Amino acid sequence: MNKKINKITVLGSGNTGFSTAAKLSHDGFNIILAEIPEFESSILNIKENKTILLKNKSIEVETSIKDVTSNLKLALNDADIILVAAPAYAHKNLAKKCAPYLKSNQIIILMPGTLGSLEWAKILFENNVHNISIGETDTSPYVCRKTNDNEATIFGTVPHLGLGVFPSINTRHVYNSIKEIFPGLKCYQDVIECGLSSINPVIHPAGVIMNAGRIERSKGEFYFYEEGVTPSVVNVINSLDKERINIGKALDYKLQPIEKAIHQSGLGPKGDLWSSINGSEILTKLKAPITVQNRWISEDIPYGIATWSMLGNQIGIKTPVMQSLTNIGSIISSDVSWEKSRNLSDLGIEKMKINNIKKYIKTGSK
């Protein structure tokens, strides 16, 4: 363990937060698991004994957490690393709540971010918080579930978790600070390349929309990836993926096609998208959501493909598939609309030309 990392706070007590706190505690790190007061009920059952039962395919062990709290000042003030495991729609609120308790030289990592690091950067700047490195990952570090109020189950670990850092001149520093927390960590050029490399928005919106009838009829009683991602669904996903890659090209990124990203993340074998998904020991075990009113729509559209589409529009890249899925998603769910989506003003890059965007994300200065 890197002895320089003395204090790590995991903010968020859902699937990823619970599992991360348990796994890193088991690995020997000092962990505080924190939740905002509004959601304190999700940690009440472990607040006193500070113990989470960690399960995976090889172990079942009780892990002791250093502290479990809804006191943000206590959780954040002395933390060296802050791992934010919260849905994208919570990022803005969390950044505002955390700002008063943050200090210079801390490192914040959004897991994943989907460009949320830029939203955090803007909010912290507006709150006079400076000299903080904000990173984001391209996916969650674990395929996991909070399987009980005091239990986390990890089905798989992402072997090559991708990291982007704002400003990108701090990438090496952040990488060196967290590489022992997440072995196999790889670095992107910057947070926009990382945000455009997120896997979930590429697959989930098309998959849920095209399986809407089956999800509602069966209440999610089928294997989403194995049974739901059929060749026709794959065709739509691949078309969306081409738009994502074209946005990347305009910004001078060589984004990996989705099937390669799945393989490199350790989620599936080499091959085309259908083969990679259907050959995955991890993905094929996952059932569909029980309703179409779920995060795969309410998060992965307004904080994923809608934001990508807006970015594409600003730099002259057409995204008809992203636009179509966003429009259909807005009919399915009241949580989805262009107006409710994370926009380029939220990210602090509205009306900026490509060279100015690249300068900003590298240096942190406009």
Q: Which backbone phi and psi does 35 adopt, to 5 degrees?
A: -140, 150
Residues 254 and 282 in one domain: yes
Query: Which DSSP helix (H) or strand (E) runs through 109?
Result: strand 107-110
Question: What are 98's two structure tokens?
Answer: 């955390």
Q: Residue 268 domain-assigned? A: yes
CATH of the domain at 33: 3.40.50.720
Q: How far apart are CA 231 and CA 174, in angstroms?
A: 40
Residues 222 and 328 in one domain: yes
Partners of 61 in beta bridges? 54
Q: How far apart are CA 134 and CA 105, in angstroms?
A: 10
**What CA–CA distances, in Å, run from 60 to 22, 52, 64, 74, 359?**
11, 10, 13, 30, 48
Partners of 154 in beta bridges? 144
The last residue of a domain, from among 178, 195, 212: 195
The pLDDT profile of the chain, 366 residues, written as one tens digit per residue, is 444 567 999 999 999 999 999 999 999 999 999 999 999 999 999 999 999 999 998 889 999 999 999 999 999 999 999 999 999 999 999 999 999 999 999 999 999 999 999 999 999 999 999 999 999 999 999 989 999 999 999 988 999 999 999 999 999 999 999 999 999 999 999 999 999 999 999 999 999 999 999 999 999 999 999 999 999 999 999 999 999 999 999 999 999 999 999 988 888 899 999 999 989 888 898 899 999 999 999 999 999 999 999 999 999 999 999 999 999 999 999 999 999 999 999 999 999 999 999 999 999 998
What is the distance of C-alpha 279 from the center of its chain?
A: 24
The last residue of a domain, from among 195, 213, 246: 195
pLDDT score recorded for residue 5? 64
Residues 87 and 167 in one domain: yes
- 167 prior amide bond cis, ω within 30: yes
Residues 17 and 121 in one domain: yes
Contact 337, 307 (CB under 8 A): no
pLDDT score recorded for residue 1? 43
> Beta strand pairing status for 81-84 and 107-110?
parallel
Give which of 45, 43, 64, 40 is closest to 53, Cα–Cα. Answer: 64
Q: How far apart are CA 185 and CA 158, in angstroms?
A: 9
Domain range holding 260? 200-363
